[in-house]
Chains A and B, each alone.
Chain A
């Protein structure tokens, strides 16, 4: 269409829409093929799904069981909102290089004013094609572009455009200036209002945007307030919203390529020191401190490791190098060789805060700060997981109840801490809880091992108790069996054990466990 590019309506908008972006992002991170049935789950329901899954009948808000029934080959991933944004960020940056002044509507959807690009590329269609070429260069498939008056109409135009390629239809949908109201008129009214008002309008017989737009504006405002009036403007194609271009955030991340690839951790840590201090220094220049980073490591064999690290205060260059080292180390030691040489290392700040919130006191920080330094020192000696803080979690077995969190990491969300946990131990907790249960023998008067039958009855009274490798000693007192039956509905994780408390001849009390394999000491009251 020949539009005089100079006198374009300022509300004229281009919207770039990447369908199923959450699925695409998750597939890219996990290495799945988005063309296969893939779905993201949130709170036990389907949050988003790929086109293949949709063909099988999977829809949003479907329960997991139902979705798996409809599409047996469905691959399920957890929805991660930050991942969406993270994967979309390079796309936004690339588009900003092509077209300045981009507004991020949500991950997967971008809006920009049409006037500049249309003038530069010689028409809206050409601008849209240029935009599609840009994202196609980043391997984003199936993107679509819509051009209309206002971001809302433009997004609907993009959604209405064909998928291009095999799906047929042009991936660019252009609505002529002034025709936006007519274009969106047949669409359902639920697109502009929330569920509550949408239901009400449906009951009133107002089902499409056109019908909604036909209502008198003053009546809509009186009945539904400002939100209703805003929705009415959108439905009538009178949207006042302009594209608000974002200011590109300053670039803090650092990356280093190693040529030739390095295969020793100490070499690598040394090589990265300069970059690490530059990384922190750049933030300091903007009066910012970093309290969380993500370290991404690519090795020669194509492996990729990515992990977030938090810091209880803020990162110094040495801390950053430490985190890189820990991530590389895994279970090995500092001077051990890596399984595959490292070609690329990238550190991205994840949490940034103003230095003002982290000022030291006039006479230095409090005692906790010193503690932090000391514990960090121990961590750099032994590894990140070596220094832990403890919390009490929920569960019946003692090992489940202790939650150990590496120093500096955020404690995981505790589940069922205050719950009653029927079958757990009485209030007296054992002072020593063995990480690996000790094999023991509990014998009856005749020297045979005490067994428990299916009904929970013991074969004979326990009389003698022996630690592995030690002579049996008389049992002074005992009580049990106390059955603990967990997850009987789940064959893989089901647990059925019997517990005993005994006092041995030395006056020391033990918590014993009988499972299918035999007798174990779970803990000791010493």
Chain B
């Protein structure tokens, strides 16, 4: 016979149990985990990337590389489409194996077809969409992803993405006024999603750390009180598109 819960404990306990139920009631039976960099254990609501899901990653190529690094290190192929400025050297230093990296820098108007073709054979595909995607096209592709068990990382918005990650604030260290050089940075990553990915959360990561590794920042506690970020999440892509 269990003792009745103290009333103050109840809400958090309920939330915890609900989270467990959500975790056990996966919407699909085959939703297997894809090896992900350990730094994302706290960030991604499910603890890791899941096969057949779409994760939108906004505002940071490094964050995207960090997500690609885990699957690549475990021997999977990864592909990057529509990102001509994807820094190969950084990717290699962050742990993406260039031997198993395919790039399609300019898929042009056919990008959706290209992504579908890549998703057939490559387990993790990153893409920057050109223009908006209609939800019908998106759901067609999602069905294909589920069938193949491919993870799609979208550098931008995606209708009905399973999770979305974004960089809220970014703080570089090592560079001062007139001396030093960039060495590491702390970012606050916001994560949100639906279904099994649960509710919104924010965490502080080092992207990258001193020796180019990704890890959870030492003072991982995010000031939850200051819920509104200082600036709106930066849409750097928009900047660049305007400038070019």
Contact = CB atoms under 8 A, between A and B. Distances in A.
Nearest to A525: B182
Interface in B79-122: 84-93, 98-99, 101-108, 110, 113-114, 117-118, 120-122
A500 B137 CA distance: 43
Nearest to B106: A386
Contacts of B175: 477-479, 501-503, 509
Contacts of A404: 88, 103, 105
A477 B61 contact: no
B212 A428 contact: yes
A439 interface: yes
A434 interface: yes
A284 B184 CA distance: 57
Interface of B: 59-62, 65, 77, 84-93, 98-99, 101-108, 110, 113-114, 117-118, 120-122, 169-172, 175-183, 185, 208, 212, 231, 234, 236, 239-240, 242-244
Contacts of A523: 85, 87
A509 B89 contact: no
Contacts of A378: 104, 114, 117-118
Contacts of B61: 431-432, 524, 526
B89 A478 contact: no
A304 interface: no
Contacts of A461: 177-178
Interface string A485-526: 000000000000000011100111100000000000001111
Contacts of B108: 382
Identify the 8 closest CB pairs spanning chains A and B, nearest first: A374-B121, A431-B61, A429-B90, A507-B170, A390-B88, A429-B89, A477-B175, A402-B88
A88 B98 CA distance: 41
A428 B183 contact: yes
Contacts of A381: 110, 113-114, 117
Given A391-B98, A439-B243, A470-B243, A479 B103 contact: no
B88 A386 contact: no
B208 A508 contact: no
Given A390-B101, A390-B103, 12 more contacts: A382-B108, A392-B92, A401-B88, A426-B182, A431-B62, A431-B90, A438-B243, A470-B239, A501-B182, A507-B170, A507-B172, A523-B87
A119 to B, nearest CB: 62
Contacts of B104: 378, 382, 386-388
B236 A477 contact: no
Interface string A327-370: 00000000000000000000000000000000000000001101
A391 B97 CA distance: 10
B59 to A, nearest CB: 7
Contacts of B92: 392
Contacts of A179: none
B176 A479 contact: yes
Contacts of B105: 386, 388, 404, 435
Contacts of A375: 102, 118, 121
B5 to A, nearest CB: 43
A62 interface: no
A168 to B, nearest CB: 62
A418 to B, nearest CB: 14
A377 interface: yes
B32 to A, nearest CB: 16
B59 A390 contact: no
B169 A507 contact: yes
The residue in A404, A430, A432, A469 that gathers the most chain B C-beta atoms within 10 A of its C-beta is A432
Contacts of A386: 104-107
A502 to B, nearest CB: 8
Nearest to B113: A381
A436 interface: yes
A240 interface: no
Given A370-B121, A470-B243, A526 B60 contact: yes
Contacts of B59: 526
Contacts of A229: none
